[in-house]
Structure 1
């Protein structure tokens, strides 16, 4: 918690940040109830952070540009959306000029293992936040659908702690953040695991 809070308030000086402790039953609630306790206008303002791994990016060679083909990346996406793996692959491929783009066969995205998640983020599942990561070189990819909201909420480094902030502050003050088209809206009638 201290690591995340220090990163937000001191390292990145994000003055729009608000911290909110939530009850231990928070993840048992529907999204609308979660939004209400945080003071978020809609459920669209609630996000989660997912550490993803490109299973086909194994051992980088000297000179490899990992910023355009990372093995691990932290995705910040709305609970109301689904990560679209094809969009993620396309967005990563577009980081390189056309002549240097990697073939689609060089990508296989999966959620990182719990061991890699703990090692890279330093946070357990349900508490992952982009702030105070153990590996500060991990690119942070913010779903473009979050940008129009102006303010959003995400995990704060403890399963019962959330942090909200202005999107503009997140994008401009945090290193390694890129805004990318990564998601598709969920069907509101789908029965989804909202954790």
Structure 2
């Protein structure tokens, strides 16, 4: 029986081939891993782009909703206080303050309300009431005509007695007598109507950020208050807004008339 001798050169060649094959296999494996890493990197970048895109859209929606007149329709993540604060700042109002009050606030005396808010006096405590012209013709259904609107919001002191007749006379004169006095009959709007046009429920009505751009009438007595910082509803029953009178006037641009008595 013959035995084939393996020469050193043949053995070396076989070892070299095996090493070469292993090296090539490792290189291929490394190339595959590198390609996998590139794919993963691209996927991560794509996910990041999508997340940034979604975040940008959310921010845009939040900003646009805060500029809408209806706070009630704003993004759910924005609080009433935050939304109204943004509206005020966007309109150059700087001197304002929000305060939460207890749920039984409206059962308190005016003196107790003054104290919890830190108001200067009970005369600085005011409210916003919605009036509807019940005798307006069928063609007048909204607030597009500031001088002859279906609705008006009147801001008066809690200590004062509101006089609707003075508002009627003012609006009649404002229209230079061209509209019959019979077409003016200002009455307190029902709660459901008030909520529908303002976006705020009873005791939470404010003339900032209303659902409808309702003309505002400010009682002259409030303008004469010292210091010139008064309190009114803040958009929620337990939220109150204190604001500098002059800045309120500059932003809201209300009609200022004497529409109350003590």
> Normalization by structure 2: what TM-score?
0.64
Higher share of residues assigned helix: 2
Residues 153 and 96 (structure 1), Cα distance of their counterparts in 2 relative to 1, 3 Å cut: same
Q: Partner of 2:242 in structure 1? A: 164
Match for residue 134 of structure 2 among 49, 55, 63: 55
Residue deviations 1:145-178, cap 9 Å, x none? Answer: 1001111000000111111111110111225x21
Range with greater deviation from structure 2 (49-58 or 109-118): 109-118
Match for residue 5 of structure 1 among 77, 85, 104: 85
* SS of structure 1 residue aligned to 2:243: strand
1:125 maps to 2:125: no
Query: Which portions of structure 1, spanning 4 or more consecutive aligned residues, are displaced by more than 3 angstroms?
Result: none
Provide the rounded CA distance (Å) in 1 between the counterparts of 2:243 and 2:144: 31
Q: Partner of 1:23 in structure 2? A: 102
Q: Partner of 1:35 in structure 2? A: 114
1:145 maps to 2:221: yes
Q: Partner of 1:78 in structure 2? A: 157
1:14 maps to 2:93: yes
> Normalization by structure 1: what TM-score?
0.85
Provide the rounded CA distance (Å) in 1 between the counterparts of 2:153 and 2:84: 15
Q: Partner of 1:96 in structure 2? A: 175
1:135 maps to 2:212: yes
The alignment of Structure 1 onto Structure 2 pairs a total of residues equal to 178
* Cα displacement (A) at 1:114: 2.1
Contact 1:89/1:107, CA 8 A, preserved across alignment? yes
Residue deviations 1:29-75, cap 9 Å, x none? Answer: 000110111111211100000010010014226xx982222110001
Contact 1:58/1:71, CA 8 A, preserved across alignment? no
Match for residue 69 of structure 1 among 148, 158, 165: 148
* SS of structure 2 residue aligned to 1:126: coil
Q: Which structure is richer in relative contact order (CA contacts within 8 A, separation 6 or more)?
A: 1
Match for residue 106 of structure 1 among 176, 183, 207: 183
Q: What is the RMSD computed on CA atoms of the aligned residues?
A: 1.8
Residue deviations 1:60-102, cap 9 Å, x none? Answer: 26xx98222211000111001111011111111121235x2x3
Residues 15 and 53 (structure 1), Cα distance of their counterparts in 2 relative to 1, 3 Å cut: same
1:183 maps to 2:260: yes
